[in-house]
Amino acid sequence: MKELLQTHSLSWAESVRVALLAEGIEAIILDPQAPGYIGFAGRVRVAVMNDSDLPRAREVLQLFESEKAPLTPGWRLQRRVLLLIGAVFVLLTIASLLAAQSPGPRPLRPATDSLPVEFNRIVGMLELRDGTILVSDAGDRRLVVIDFKKQTLQQIGREGRGPGEYTIPTQLYPIGGDSTLMPDVLNGRWLILRGPAIVRTVPPDDPVVSRTRSGFRGTDVRGHVLTTGVNLPNQTRSFGKGDSTALVLVARANGKTDTIARLRVAPTTVKVDVDKDGKVSQMRWFPPIYSVGEEPLILADGWIAVARLEPYRIEWRSPDGKWSRPAPIELAESRMTERERQAYLDRRSRALGKPAIRPSDDNWPATIPPFQSRPLIPLPDGRVLILRTPTADVPGNRYEVIDRSGRRVTIVGLPETERIFAVGTRGAYVVVTDEDGIQRIRRHPWP
């Protein structure tokens, strides 16, 4: 990301951004709400997302500025009036922003497509170029492709350990050219799909497969795998807020690794059982309520987002290795009260279909964290969704849209029984779960 200009005029910055967009140059406005002084707006900046676009962006800016015409005497007066009106508008806008620091969520527009097919436990979903959807159903142990237009479902491969088979379908990751990577975890390997067909199996002894097996977090189309440097203990151990793990980028072609960050791990206790020879025979995890660590996501274009906890914010890493660490996202602290405990137990009971067992009082945190495990979803325009933790006051599923400057753009709200699993160029894919645990998929317009 490279800065192009600084200006005290937010409208001028927006005009430049639109002009760059018309030339195919992706740009963003930084510090749109920068504080100013009496009579002057705060200084805002325009930056191009790709460093290589900076020279052409400067040419566009020079041409754009040269089109300004000299002011006539009559227009000078009109300009003063317009500036006064503009100042009033800016003040009113700032006042409205200050008055609505915690904007309410907005719903998705009504669904345009659905399919009368039942699923058991969807864990992965990916839109293909032709608009069909790959779906991983771990409950029914099947990988399928669905076509909303034709109202069809076709299974891909089958359960097993041979070629084109898998044990339990998992998440789906794009690797370019309408190809997809699906880790076949229990078989210790990867399956590569081209469109809706399994075309290759990457064996367990492949160096990159073995290097990323325990911490696989995603892929991009540039040939990278994102993983965490998880070191499993050989004896019982507790992990707390002070513990961290490495975030590592691995090249699929040659296995070259690059440690790019450290992530705080989720607090938990790992109990390890060993056999008579001293070898690990079983590992069990005992996380406390609302246990969560810092969460990464690699997008198809190579950008990486990291959801941080204290303070809550989204940090970004560009493909050239540069990090941006924006200001924290405003967060109203939610204290753990008896009302919040009961709201959590009610949600668990509805999810389980039976009364949830109440944990001991020392197993609850003092505050509710802003998100839970695997909260980030990529958007086609390069932004991300982050699923917030529900509370007694704000139940249901809230998704914050975060842009690459780390700014919260808007909030999308869904009922507790509906979750966004993926967003593609044709819409947002929502999984609806009924009271019997049966899942169905709908496609909604996005945004």
**Is 23 a member of any domain?**
yes
If you write DSSP's letter for every residue of 356-390 in order, what string do you get?
Answer: PPPPPGGGS-SB--SEEEEEEEE-TTS-EEEEEPP
CATH number for the domain including 46? 3.30.70.1530
How far apart (Å, rounded) are the C-alpha atoms in residues 340 and 345?
9
The DSSP code for 71 is P
In the predicted model, what is the mean pLDDT of residues 300-319?
97
Q: State the pLDDT at residue 45.
A: 75
Domain count, the chain: 1
> Residue 118, SS3?
coil
Residue 367 has pLDDT above 90, yes or no: yes
Quick one: angle between helices 10-22 and 54-66, nearest 10?
120
pLDDT digits (tens, 9 = 90+) for 341-353: 999 999 999 988 8
**Is 89 a member of any domain?**
yes
Cβ(339)–Cβ(368) below 8 Å: no
**Domain hosting residue 65, numbered range:** 2-99
| E strand map for 86-172 | 113-114, 122-127, 133-137, 142-147, 152-156, 158-159, 165-166
pLDDT digits (tens, 9 = 90+) for 40-84: 344 667 887 777 788 887 877 776 555 444 444 544 554 454 455
Residue 15 amino acid letter: S
CB-side neighbour CA atoms (13 Å) of 17: 19
Residue 418, both tokens: 């509906």
Q: What percent of the chain has pLDDT over 90?
A: 64
The DSSP code for 80 is H
User: Measuring CA to CA, how many Å separate 310 from each of 248, 263, 333, 364?
Assistant: 21, 12, 12, 18
**Is 33 a member of any domain?**
yes
Band (pLDDT 50/70/90 cuts) for residue 232 is: low
> Residue 311, SS3?
coil
Place of tokens 């933790």: 389
Instruction: Count how many residues are written for the chain.
Output: 447
Q: How are beta strands 158-159 and 165-166 bridged, if at all?
A: parallel
81 Cβ neighbours under 8 A, 6+ residues apart = none
**Is 240 a member of any domain?**
no
Band (pLDDT 50/70/90 cuts) for residue 99 is: very low
Q: Is the peptide bond before 311 cis (omega within 30 degrees of 0)?
A: yes
**Is 34 a member of any domain?**
yes
Beta pairing partners, 165: 158
Q: How many CB atoms lie within 10 A of CB 148?
A: 19
How far apart (Å, rounded) are the C-alpha atoms in residues 415 and 122?
18
Cβ(233)–Cβ(272) below 8 Å: yes
How far apart (Å, rounded) are the C-alpha atoms in residues 390 and 393?
8
Residue 15 has pLDDT above 70, yes or no: no
How far apart (Å, rounded) are the C-alpha atoms in residues 104 and 394?
9
pLDDT digits (tens, 9 = 90+) for 377-428: 999 999 999 999 999 999 999 999 999 999 999 999 999 999 999 999 999 9
> Residue 105, SS3?
coil
pTM of the model: 0.75
Sign of the CA dihedral with 79 first, then 81, 84, and 89 last:
negative
**Is 94 a member of any domain?**
yes
Q: State the pLDDT at residue 67.
A: 45
Of residues 243 and 98, the one with the higher pLDDT is 243
Q: State the pLDDT at residue 87.
A: 52
pLDDT digits (tens, 9 = 90+) for 105-149: 899 999 999 999 999 999 999 999 999 999 999 999 999 999 999
**Summary mean pLDDT of the chain:** 86
> Residue 341, SS3?
helix
**Is 120 a member of any domain?**
no
How far apart (Å, rounded) are the C-alpha atoms in residues 162 and 23?
50
User: Measuring CA to CA, how many Å separate 144 from each of 111, 136, 169, 170?
Assistant: 21, 7, 10, 12
Burial of 331 (0-12, 13-18, 19+ CB in 10 A): middle
Residue 430, both tokens: 């929502």
Place of tokens 């995603």: 218
How far apart (Å, rounded) are the C-alpha atoms in residues 106 and 410?
8
Q: State the pLDDT at residue 403.
A: 97
Band (pLDDT 50/70/90 cuts) for residue 25 is: confident
How far apart (Å, rounded) are the C-alpha atoms in residues 190 and 200?
8
In the predicted model, what is the mean pLDDT of residues 239-260?
92
**Is 219 a member of any domain?**
no
Burial of 81 (0-12, 13-18, 19+ CB in 10 A): exposed
Q: For 400-420, what is the HEC assignment?
A: EEECCCCCEEEEEEECCCEEE
Of residues 138 and 233, the one with the higher pLDDT is 138
Closest CA to 173 of 230, 212, 116, 121: 212
